[in-house]
Copies of this chain bind each other. A is one copy, B any other.
Amino acid sequence: MFADKLYEKIIEYKNPTVLGLDPLIEYVPDSIRKKYSNDIDAIYHFNKDLINNLHKIIPAVKCQSAYYELLGPKGGYLLQKTMDYAKSKGMLVILDCKRNDIGSTARAYANAYLNDGIYSADAITVNGYLGSDGITPFVNKCIELGKGIYILVKTSNKSSYELQDMKLENGLKVYEHMAQLVSSWGEKVIGKYGYSSVGAVIGATHPKQLAELRQTMKSSIFLVPGYGAQGGGVEDVKDAFDKYGNGAIINSSRGLMCAYKKYNLSKEQFIKAAILEALDMKEQFNKFINLKGNS
């Protein structure tokens, strides 16, 4: 099941980070672009280069569906190929697509993205605004196929407070109520390490909430976006982890894809920079956390 696989990958790699593959053609250096007559093939080369060079450092990739959908139907093939390639290199594959709908339609989405055969992600992100019957079809895939989902709880963007921080009559905020729903939805798929395959998305830009939710959502693995380019730092996310340094994965997309900017290298040296950044992230997180595999 997904939660156990992820837990073990984090220990094996001694690294709880995720490579976000949200490619725009502008990120791809000219030397690659001029080899191909179309953007799709150039981006696939770019993605493959990153996977080839980082798959021994980072245990998982997260593809942001929007950047593939932006390329039209051909982007669907690019997404399939990218996810298949990452899997062939032993990485877990999360598709960040934030799908949500009523039961019958949620079932169609669950079949599309979590069944083996079409997009075949190991896990996807989901929006819980519709409640249980929009979530159950995805939870069923966690149970039946060993897949995972991450449900939006407190998102990394600035305006997340407008709905998510509204205070309820019962004293909880909307995101805390969502956190309770997520915990209850995840109860049926808790693995041998105590974590559920139903996880939660909580932004790196909210360190206080990360720490509080770590206490109330004992069984949820957190998927933490917003590290790096969006402003979240290592100190901001350290409380997302449990005492073993597990229970959370930290995504970096532009921070890795465009690391050449941080390291004052040329775009052509994007791989060199991505490796430096990936190793730096691994080291940074190891300063703060005490991964079981290290002890």
Contacts and interface: CB of A to CB of B under 8 A. Distances in A.
A146 interface: no
A73 B66 contact: no
A69 interface: yes
A106 B127 CA distance: 14
Contacts of A71: 118
- Residues of A in contact with B, size category: 35 or more
Interface in A38-53: none
A84 interface: no
Contacts of A130: 152, 155, 157, 159-160, 163
A13 interface: no
A33 B93 CA distance: 35
Given A100-B98, A164-B129, A169-B167, A108 B70 contact: yes
Interface string A82-105: 000000000000000011111101
Given A64-B105, A80-B72, A133 B112 contact: no
Contacts of A166: 168-170, 174, 177
A27 interface: no
A184 B116 CA distance: 42
Contacts of A132: 159, 162
A155 B132 CA distance: 12
B131 A129 contact: no
A185 to B, nearest CB: 10
B127 A163 contact: no
Given A102-B155, A105-B22, A157-B134, A129 B163 contact: yes
B112 A70 contact: yes
A183 to B, nearest CB: 13
13 contacts: A66-B99, A66-B105, A67-B105, A67-B108, A69-B113, A70-B109, A73-B74, A102-B156, A129-B155, A133-B157, A134-B155, A168-B169, A169-B169
